Chains A and B, each alone.
Chain A
Amino acid sequence: MNGKELLEKLGKLRQTTCIKDVKPLTDALFPGAHCPLMGSAMAVRGIENSMIVVIGTDECSYYTKHMTLHSEEFGGIFGRCVSVVLDSRDVTFGSKKKIEEAMKELMEEYKPEAVFLTTTCVVEIIGDDMDMIADSLTEKYNVPFLAVHTEHFKCENHMPGLERTITACLSIMEPQEKENTVNVLGQRMGSFRTTELCRILKENNVEIGLQLPSGCSVEDIKTAPKAKLNVVVHPIALPLAKKMKAKFKIPYVFFNKFTRPENIYKAYEELFECLNIPVTEEIKQLYEKAKRISDEAKKQLNGITYIYGNTPFDSMEFNQFMVEEGMKPLVIQLSEYEGERDKNEIAAILEKADPYVAKSANIAPLQYIYDVLKPNLYLGHEFAARLRKKGIEIVHSDKASGLLGFEVTFFITEELLRASKEARELRKAMGEN
């Protein structure tokens, strides 16, 4: 493979107007993006007493169950992930009867409080009406059955699976008397309870209500409308927050996993305003500290080049942060592109750089462009040892999944500094400047 030729096929960020302008490095991909079925399973994992029923081929069912085998939350092999495996007969004549039989067994043996009927590509192609099946099962068993559609040929990655699963939870929610609680929506990995945001809310006597999808029960979902505010910590929860606002009149604040101190402070301000609490001195101090740390880091990070792959952060917001630190993006890999939503971030990046853009989850051909672009850092999942041989240090950011607030800035700045220092030493060892 020729790295230069691969790069010639890519567009630049400045020319990008929609996801179709973001080309894959190659037409043959490896490993490719995760599918929304996996996203759905990730969401159900955090909802106690609920079950995911994968409706699809043996293969989709196998891999999903396989993913849950060592998950304590799922309960391993005897746990909350089961399936209705379709054969060619079901594909021809429909899966309704088989699903009904299977649900009878499921209700007798597992006694779940909610059941997510997660479809796969084949079910969506044959057009089985899973919403209708879910409704009739809900009526029959007096337990919520929620249809979640996860066909991968209509989306780019696993996020829609998470989004649709938690959005489906709206139908479980029941009107409640209002209480002084705050729901946290969209915490997909890690625990909200260990975050800075959670600590600060608790210190200000704010009671945390529903935490969806990580760490809740079906009962928590039912009573979620008692909250006076929803805090959305990832875009996957925005559709649910909007629906809860319309149905239960619960306002929401978008408190994403921001990296820029300004954005974090703004989110705190908005949140505290909704809670009718003045922004605390501690938050102001954390803000100043975050600004100081990121300013000080500029000396070390200035001129550091990188290829962006996949992190727990918002892609454009994080890239803006790094560009403002003086770093130079060479390639930004994306699975989605929201030009209008991210216009400020994109404009800020373009002021300093115009990187290539490529579809994410295709690590095989990246090897060839490393030799051409010679980045200092790679941000995302890659093989660290392989990268080091090419003088590239990997930036580990998975730990940030369980962080929210200024701690995100502290963490990622430290990690960027560490990786940059390592990268410089790697280059020195290779006889380069």
Chain B
Amino acid sequence: MSLTRFLPTPSDRMGILWSLLSIEESVIIEYGPAGTTHFSVSLFGELDIEQKNRLYTTHMSEADVVMGDATRLEKAIKEVDKNNKPKVIFVVASSVAAVIGVDIKGICNYMQSEVNARLVAFDQGGFRGDYSAGVKEAYKMLANELVVDTDKRDENTYNIIGASLWSYRMRSDINEVKRLLFEAFGLKMKACFCSDTSIEELEKAGEATLNIAIQKTAVEASKILETRFNTPYVYGMPYGYEGTLQWLQQISSVIGKEINPKVVGELREKIGMSKQYQMYKRMLRRDIMQATVIGEYDTVVGISDFLQQLGIEINYKICTHSLKGIDADREDVIFLKTEKETIDIVKEAKKEMVLADDTMLSLADDSNTKLRIAPPVIKGMVLARHLPLAGIYGADYVLEYVQQYVQTLK
């Protein structure tokens, strides 16, 4: 079970890169062979992440590898500091640098006195787990190192933590979270870790009155900010109508503010309307309403719970990244170590709802009703920023597919 047929799960290093690339006023210097950087350009372009003047490579020669000469990196750091004048330079090790044991942190330490930009080292190199570990490290580092000490409070503001642009429809989800929190409480977003943000926004994140960890990978960073600034946090992304209401109630109790009754009314109405699916379930004579859900941890948990509330049995809840290190608390969500195990499960699915990424959806039998909920996107591209999976709009969208699915059953 060692063959990878499709796109492998991105590495920790890749997660770090797409997180940091989303931060204006900073520059990433990759220390490694240039080909990796050039190769990565198309992926980051697909994720709609700006790379111009934000991403550089040093390249690496055989002499650098054999002799451990880091002059190239030193020169590149000085040059970027002088030419680009970024507030922060993130120095990211390549897999080659990691394997030969280049002391990236040490280099950043002794180079710090020679440059104006803040130097921040990432020495993971792609060998400390998959991207879930990488984005988690990035959020932690930003919470620890970049958020500036402050006693100031910017009332009615919050930070979003855990906005990984790899996640399917993340920008739409962020917009839905922003919409809901404004309509429900009049709250405004201050900083977003790490989607379309800037060093300045992140530096001021300590002034927010609430942190929302929208993915499990963001909980540790939220705890860091809680310790540093006494800022409470709420973990969770709102999926489904009941899930969204519970999420708002949770926030309400933390910030001590009532939810706008209009929002509660809308949600209660939708919850009532969606009860009809339980009735469908009882009316079925031949088939049963069932689903297989494959994707990132929080999406799988949230959407599975929503489907179960509608009366759909979930056969498998499969997380596509490692559960190690994110303190996953749901035992019903599994991580399969090999691609083959997931393929076998998907191929078995008949007359189910299959919610997954493009590859797995392609493998699923056409008797299933299929919905893309996870990366990577292979067919077409994501353009919209107003079509979430989360929140009320997201639940409406998922429900449309449930309705399609129900119509295939007897």
Contacts and interface: CB of A to CB of B under 8 A. Distances in A.
A59 B37 contact: no
B13 A34 contact: no
Given A105-B340, A125-B100, A83 B127 contact: no
Contacts of B5: 78, 82, 109
A126 interface: yes
B177 to A, nearest CB: 29
A125 B10 contact: no
Interface stretch (B74-82, B113-121, B327-335): B74-82
B35 A67 contact: no
Contacts, number: 183
A29 B62 CA distance: 18
A101 B1 contact: yes
A64 B1 CA distance: 20
A152 interface: yes
A28 B2 contact: no
Interface residues of B, number: 59
A364 B34 contact: no
A57 B359 contact: no
A255 B13 CA distance: 44
Centre residue among A65, A77, A87, A153 by max chain B CB count within 10 A: A153
A197 interface: no
Interface in B1-40: 1-11, 13-14, 29, 32-40
Contact of A62 (B8, B83, B127): B8
Interface residues of A, number: 56
A66 B40 CA distance: 10
Given A1-B83, A62-B10, A101-B2, A30 B51 contact: yes
Interface string B125-138: 01110100000000
Interface in B266-322: none
A31 interface: yes
B2 A30 contact: no
B341 to A, nearest CB: 12
Nearest to A97: B2
Nearest to B66: A153
Interface string B33-72: 1111111111100000001110111111110110000001
Given A121-B96, A364-B52, A28 B79 contact: yes
A108 B91 CA distance: 43
B38 A35 contact: yes
Nearest to B74: A27
A35 B39 contact: yes
A32 B14 contact: no
A27 B76 contact: yes
A154 B43 contact: no
B71 to A, nearest CB: 9
A85 interface: yes
A26 B10 contact: no
Given A35-B36, A102-B3, A58 B57 contact: no
A30 B38 CA distance: 8
Contacts of B41: 31
B37 A61 contact: no
Given A33-B34, A57-B95, A102 B2 contact: yes
Contacts of B94: 121
Contact of A32 (B34, B61, B340): B34
A299 to B, nearest CB: 39
A28 B80 contact: yes
A392 to B, nearest CB: 18
Contacts of A101: 1-3
A158 B35 CA distance: 8
Centre residue among A28, A35, A106 by max chain B CB count within 10 A: A28
Given A38-B35, A58-B14, A66 B8 contact: no
Contacts of A411: none
Given A66-B43, A91-B99, A153 B8 contact: no
A142 interface: no
Contacts of B32: 121
A162 interface: no
B79 A125 contact: no
Centre residue among B34, B36, B127 by max chain A CB count within 10 A: B34
A84 B34 contact: no
B378 interface: yes
Contacts of B79: 26-28
Centre residue among B36, B41, B60 by max chain A CB count within 10 A: B36
A27 B75 contact: yes
Contact of A65 (B6, B35, B61): B6
B95 A29 contact: no
A28 B56 contact: yes
A59 B13 contact: yes
15 contacts: A28-B29, A65-B6, A65-B7, A67-B42, A69-B7, A78-B5, A99-B2, A105-B1, A105-B3, A109-B3, A121-B33, A126-B99, A152-B34, A153-B61, A364-B52
Given A27-B72, A62-B10, A63-B36, 5 more contacts: A27-B76, A27-B79, A63-B40, A77-B362, A153-B61
**Ranked 8 nearest A-B pairs via Cβ:** A35-B35, A32-B34, A152-B33, A28-B56, A63-B39, A102-B2, A102-B3, A28-B76
